[in-house]
Amino acid sequence: MNRTYLATKVSDRIKGPHGHGYHPDAKGRPRDVDRLNATSWGAEGAISTAQDVSAFYRALNQGRLLPPDLRRELPRPFPVLCGGTVASATGGAPGITSVTFTSADGRFQFAVAATLKIKNEQTIAVGEAMDKAAEAVLCPGQ
């Protein structure tokens, strides 16, 4: 995970190539939110790539980060697919949302992000479409 970092200055821009989210301003015009204040999010303001998030969950699910007794203690609040054999972890900011699905053994993964031109509160349909795409890839025949 060499492309994950925590913004430490208000003026920090997202480093490297990345998706751009668009969120309506007070007049309803979409504005690029590339320059948001991620420092106010604390640990949740970590900025990462899909590759790094996938590497983290692959290592976690394959038992390479924690011993089994600690792994059993982790809460699993993530939505599950394929009869519970695939879990997801989501992230996002105003105007962008992402999700990484990982099989219980960490062998299969599917990561997707969507740039939005709508308010994040209206993203339920986007999340449902992401779930359907993951099911098509990871749960064929179900």
Q: pLDDT digits over 2-55, tens only?
A: 888 877 776 666 777 777 777 778 888 877 777 666 655 555 667 788 888 888
Query: Three-class SS of residue 92?
Result: strand
pLDDT greater at residue 93 or residue 131:
131
pTM: 0.71
Q: What is the mean pLDDT of residues 115-133?
A: 75
Where residue 141 falls (left for φ over 0; alpha for ψ -120 to 50; beta otherwise) is: left
3-state secondary structure of 96: strand
Pick one of 3.30.70.1150, 3.30.710.10, 3.30.465.10, 3.40.710.10 as the CATH number of 5-138.
3.40.710.10
For residues 67-82, give the mean pLDDT.
76
The domain locations on the chain are 5-138
> What are the beta bridge partners of residue 92?
97
